[in-house]
Amino acid sequence: MKTLSKKEILSLGLMMFSIFFGAGNLIFPPALGQEAGTSFVPAIIGFLCTGVGMPLLGVVAIAMKGGKYTEFIERYVHPKFALALLSVLYLTIGPLFAIPRTGAVSFEVGIRPFLGPDSLLTGQAMYTGVFFVVTYFLALNPSKLVARVGNILTPALLIFLVVLFVKSFVSPLGDIGPVTGAYVENPYLQGVQNGYLTMDLLASLAIGALVVNTIRLSGVEENREIGKVCIMSGVIAMVLMSGVYISLGYLGATSAAVMGHSANGGVLLTEATHILFGSMGTALLALIIALACLTTSCGMASAFAWYFHEAFGQKISYQRLLFFATLFSFAVSNVGLTELIRISVPFLIAIYPVVIVLVVLSLFSSVFGSRRGAYRWGIAFTLAFSIFDGLNAAGLQIAFVNDLFSRYIPLYAANFGWVVPAVVGTLLGCITSGNTSGELTEDFEDSGKTA
């Protein structure tokens, strides 16, 4: 049986880190730290659960299915659900939120500090216009150019961040500020919810197949060994991610006394860098993040266009889908980073729990056997309540429903009303569906060994 060396596993872990690590993710931990203040520790632990832990489980779940996660969802839930879920995921990590965010973040960090209030809207439109035109032409002919630039930019960004982190720990901006906002009541759960904003769990369902294929190309064929390699390399990637997130969160926690409360994490990071390193440091950070956002935008736009090109039976050309993605992303990015984040929160609160439950259930597929009801009921119960959580986060509250659920559903007031129903739905599904074909799970998982 073929196994990978420690050096190969380390290389795979660094590759996984570079795929997950996007410049957009830099803006959320500082904002969390600034708001959480003295409750920073439980808040960042919650953030790491969904921003780091769940993406790792997503990759492992796909590895356990031999990379055939779409087929697994089609068989155990429903083919139409698989199509709907993957379409929503690619739209989310595509033109709805993630791609526009790359343009908004790079503008917020790199261009906005140099513009006056009267020229902000014009400057943003001009910058994002150029940004997405370049994205379109680079993604038209996917080549090694973007990958090579990314391989240079990721180490450059990491080196800059290490210097920033050391400086912020040795000479902190100020004392850790008081806890504010939603972090006052339950900092841990608020941190968990903010971890949704990274969208890394959603991306893991697309990235996982890439990681599995990379391992297979190295000569590893058995699902058990693939899963083992994914866990070890994933731990390496997530430890690095955790270090970045904790350091950025600490930077934010010590910033309020000097800077006050920033509109978003992009503004915070830029102002903190300027205080610590001056104008040259701010300019260098702006350049690195702008290029890193560009490579991320190209990769996500290309992935979106290819997925829907295949989903529509190749009836719509890759080029036309790519044009739509970049044009729509240009329009959305101009609402501004703060507004874009605000709009995305309710949607992510509604969809993230469904993916969490699906990943967790798939990890225990050997326990459930062929009880499809466990997946279907568990996901249905989750979605029924996560939709109300999303509506509440959007301010579209239904008073009598909220009153009823707040009385009888644990954690409903904190936008986690889906947790208990997910467990109840899964148990009901197990009881009612029965294990009519116990060998189905084994047959499916064995098929990955020869795929």
The pLDDT of residue 13: 85
Query: Residue 315: its pLDDT value, please?
Result: 93
**Do the domain assignments include residue 282?**
yes
Read off the amino acid at residue 410: P
> Cα(91)–Cα(100) distance, rounded to whole angstroms?
11
Q: How confident is the model at residue 147, as a pLDDT?
A: 58
Residue 27: CB atoms within 10 A of its CB come to 28
For every one of its 451 residues, what pLDDT tens digit does the chain have, with 9 covering 90 and above? 677 888 888 888 887 887 787 766 888 999 999 999 999 999 999 999 999 999 999 988 888 887 788 888 999 899 999 999 999 999 998 999 999 999 999 998 888 888 888 888 999 999 999 999 999 988 887 655 555 555 666 777 778 888 888 888 888 888 898 999 889 989 999 999 999 999 999 988 778 877 887 788 888 877 778 888 888 888 998 998 999 899 999 999 999 888 888 888 888 988 888 888 888 888 888 888 888 788 888 888 988 998 999 889 999 999 999 999 999 999 999 998 889 989 999 999 999 999 999 999 998 888 887 788 999 999 999 999 999 999 988 888 888 888 999 898 998 988 899 999 999 999 999 888 765 544 444 444 444 443 3
- The conformational region for residue 181 under phi > 0 = left, psi -120 to 50 = alpha, else beta, is left
d(CA 415, CA 195): 14
Burial of 230 (0-12, 13-18, 19+ CB in 10 A): buried
Least Cα distance to 65 among 447, 450, 423 occurs for: 447
Asked if residue 361 belongs to a domain, the reply is no
| Domain of residue 234, residue span | 6-344
Which position has the token pair 């902190």?
172
Sign of CA dihedral 332, 337, 343, 349: positive
Type of residue at 144? K
Per-residue pLDDT at 150: 59
Tokens in use for 70?
């779409």
Which three-class secondary structure state does DSSP give residue 376? helix
Question: Taking a C-beta distance cutoff of 8 angstroms, is the pair 46, 195 a contact?
Answer: yes
In a domain, 446, yes or no: no
Q: Which among 357, 443, 306, 345 has a CA at the least distance from the CA of 58?
A: 357
Q: Is residue 39 domain-resident?
A: yes
**Distance between CA atoms of residues 20 and 51, nearest Å:** 10
In 312-410, which ranges are continuous DSSP H helix? Answer: 318-333, 337-363, 365-368, 372-393, 399-408
At residue 143, the pLDDT reads 58
Q: Is 115 left (phi over 0), alpha (psi -120 to 50) or beta?
A: beta
Q: How far apart are CA 264 and CA 27, in angstroms?
A: 7
pLDDT, residue 443, reads: 46
Per the document, the length of the chain is 451
Q: Which of 142, 141, 140 is nearest to 322 (CA)?
A: 140
Residue 323 falls within a domain, yes or no? yes
Closest CA to 388 of 410, 416, 407, 408: 416
Q: What's the pLDDT score for residue 146?
A: 53
The answer for residues whose C-beta is within 8 angstroms of residue 256's C-beta and 6 or more apart is 34, 37, 174, 177, 178
The CATH code of the domain that includes 182 is 1.20.1740.10
Residue 449 lies in a domain: no
Is residue 308, in this structure, part of any structural domain at all? yes
pLDDT of residue 437: 45
Short-list 408, 387, 404, 407, CA closest to 396: 387
* Residue 320 structure tokens: 């036309």
Does residue 431 belong to any structural domain of this protein? no
What is the model's pTM?
A: 0.87
Give how many domains the chain has, as a whole number: 1
